[in-house]
Amino acid sequence: MEIPVIRDVLEESNALAKENRAAFDRHGVFVVNIMSSPGSGKTTLLQKTIPILKARGISCAVIEGDVSSTLDSERLAPLGIPVIQANTEPFGGDCHLGSHMVQAALKYLDLPSIEILFIENIGNLVCPAEFYLGENRKVMMLSLTEGEDKPTKYPLMFRECQVCLLSKMDLAPHLDINLDLLESNIQKVNSAMRILPISAKTGEGLMAWLDWLVNER
């Protein structure tokens, strides 16, 4: 027998994401899903960003995605904000955060007291792009050492995100990277992408990033 169906395979995953979003909206939490290759600088950027937001009276929290370790959470602990570690290992060691994992993490967060929730996704330029978690904005980071060809090689990530943070700008003088080529490659894949060059090390571009966050909220 043939059973014809037309069904989105990620239906259940998306339904959970919508539940997450409803909870965020109910409590006025602005949620940013940050994605990149391993080591582009996601945790370092959060270490720089959150103290400034805190000083401006904006309360933050972080869901830290990692396959198994708690190293990134430990780095964020001194910030004195809620940091929930979401490890995919008990869920099968996935290379991306799933909406069910965000939902599990929400049990440990007091949403009414949070204004901006950052989700640091698992370091991976492919898999996290596929899955909606309930976030308001998807932001990706590409460090200058990764090369100009990445938009063409990982188009889904560049299509899905509203902002591309070009990180480690302080390294530009030491690299052969052609920034114009990189920007034009990004625009070929996503002409609406907002490109923000930053360096967590020197502080370059941090204010533009903060302005974006505060304005989008």
Partner 1 sequence: MHELYIAECIVKSVNSSLPRNVAPTLVTQVRVQVGQLDAVVPETLKFSFDAIKQSCGMPRAELLIKEIAVRCRCRDCAHEFGIDLPVFICPACNRGDVEVLQGRGITLTRIIADEPEGETHGNTSYS
Ligand X SMILES: Nc1nc2c(ncn2[C@@H]2O[C@H](COP(=O)(O)OP(=O)(O)OP(=O)(O)O)[C@@H](O)[C@H]2O)c(=O)[nH]1
Contact residues for partner 1 (CB under 8 A)? 1-13, 92, 94-96, 98, 126-127, 129-131, 151-152, 154-156, 159, 187-192
User: In this structure, what token pair is assigned to residue 53?
Assistant: 């937001």
At 134 the three-state DSSP class reads coil
Question: 55 touches which of partner 1, ligand X, Mg ion, none (CB within 5 to 8 A by kind)?
Answer: none
Show the CA angle centred on residue 151, arms to residues 173 and 7, nearest 5°: 155
Please say which residue, 96 or 168, places its beta carbon nearer to ligand X: 168
168 binds ligand X (CB under 6 A): yes
Q: Of these, 20, 36, 42, 50, which contacts Mg ion (CB under 5 A)? A: 42
Residues 6+ away with beta carbon under 8 Å from 198: 45, 165, 166, 167, 169, 204, 205, 206, 208, 209
190 binds ligand X (CB under 6 A): no
Of the candidates 107, 104, 135, the one whose C-alpha atom is nearest the C-alpha of residue 31 is: 135
CB 86 to ligand X: min, Å: 12
33 binds ligand X (CB under 6 A): no
Round to whole Å and give the CA distance between 192 and 4: 38
Question: 148 touches which of Mg ion, ligand X, partner 1, none (CB within 5 to 8 A by kind)?
Answer: none
CB 154 to ligand X: min, Å: 15
CB 2 to ligand X: min, Å: 45
Residues 6+ away with beta carbon under 8 Å from 180: none
